[in-house]
Every structure is written in structure tokens, then in C-alpha cells.
Amino acid sequence: MASKFLKEFREFAVKGNVVDMAVGIIIGGAFTLIVQSLVKSVMNPVLGLLIGGVDFADFFLILKEGATPGPYASLAAAQQAGAVTLDYGLFLNAVISFVIVALSVFLLVRTINRLKREEAVAPKAATDKACPHCFMTIPIKASKCGHCTADLDVADRVPDKAV
């Protein structure tokens, strides 16, 4: 009984979809770390500089004063004093991170879809042609048109390709 269960579990775990999903989750986690670093280390300082040198992480509202009364210079100072805060700056950082991840995924999917469309549009070997007499679509190897019954000249027929 246990060996059957283990066999089924092994078959499930090594299926292509499960492995692909696991790889996607691992890469997604690593990508999220990169985006968080980009937002925290690159974008927030630039945006903060544009709005007067303020770090978004320090945007907060005090809902209840802590043991030592404010004003607090930073979110960390407010939390250390025991103040209850509404940390909208951290939320703003998360929104920026989400937008960057969503934009990156959109661009990736868009590129993949374009490549698939180009592959689908790639010319394929012709299997039909137009009859030179009635212009109806007929098989490329036809010797007689099935619509107008005209005999096709040798020049109108495509010879079999040597294999």
C-alpha cells in the first residue's frame, strides 16, 4: 500500500507541469527580490529626492501616541516608542513593486506571444493552388480541376518531390 502511494507521488512530482510550476515559483521569488531591491535602492531614493529627500518608508500617520510623545523622525522611531501607526509609505513601496513586477511579466508575455505569432505566420509548404482556368482552389498535385474539370497542363502541375 505504501509503495503504491510513493509510486503515485513520485509520478505526480516528476510530471512536467509540476516541475515547470516549481521552477516558475523559484524564479518568481528570485525576481521579486530583485524588484524589491530595485524599488528600495534605486527608485525610492530618486522619487524621494524629487519630492524633497523623504524616504517613502517613513511616510506614516500616528493613530495613537507611544510611551514617549511625538513627533517622531521616522517610522522606526515611532514604532520603538510604541506608537500605533498607519504605514502608508510601506504600502506605497509595495504598490510600486507590484507595478514593476506586473509590467515586467506583461512585457515578457507580450514578447513570447509575438514570437509565437511570428512562428504561426511563417510560410508553410503550399498544399493548394488556384486553377488557372476557373481560379477555384485545388490540390497542388491535381492533374484535373475538380470544379471546372479542365485538364491541367504539365506546367500547371507541381511535380512530386523526391524523398
Which of the pair, 15 or 140, is modelled with greater confidence?
140
Round to the nearest angstrom and report the end-to-end CA distance of the chain.
Answer: 54
Q: Would you place residue 162 in the very low, low, confident or very high pLDDT band (cuts 50, 70, 90)?
A: very low
Tens of pLDDT, residue by residue over 118-161, are 777 766 667 888 888 888 888 888 888 888 988 887 655 555 54
Q: Are residues 22 and 93 in the same domain?
A: yes
Q: What is the CATH number of the domain that holds 8?
A: 1.10.1200.120
> Quick check: 34 pLDDT over 70?
yes
Closest CA to 94 of 57, 63, 61: 57
> Quick check: 18 pLDDT over 70?
yes
Residue with cell 517613513: 58
> How many folded domains does the chain comprise?
2
Q: Are residues 105 and 157 in the same domain?
A: no
Q: Are residues 117 and 96 in the same domain?
A: yes
Q: Would you place residue 163 in the very low, low, confident or very high pLDDT band (cuts 50, 70, 90)?
A: very low
Q: Which residues pair with 85 in a beta bridge?
A: 62
Q: Taking all residues of the chain, what is their mean pLDDT, rounded to a whole number?
A: 81
Quote the domain boundaries for residue 115. Answer: 2-122
- What span, in angstroms and rounded, lies between the C-alpha atoms of 132 and 145? 9
Q: Are residues 79 and 19 in the same domain?
A: yes
Q: Are residues 26 and 67 in the same domain?
A: yes
Q: Are residues 31 and 74 in the same domain?
A: yes
Tens of pLDDT, residue by residue over 87-112, are 998 898 888 878 887 887 788 889 88
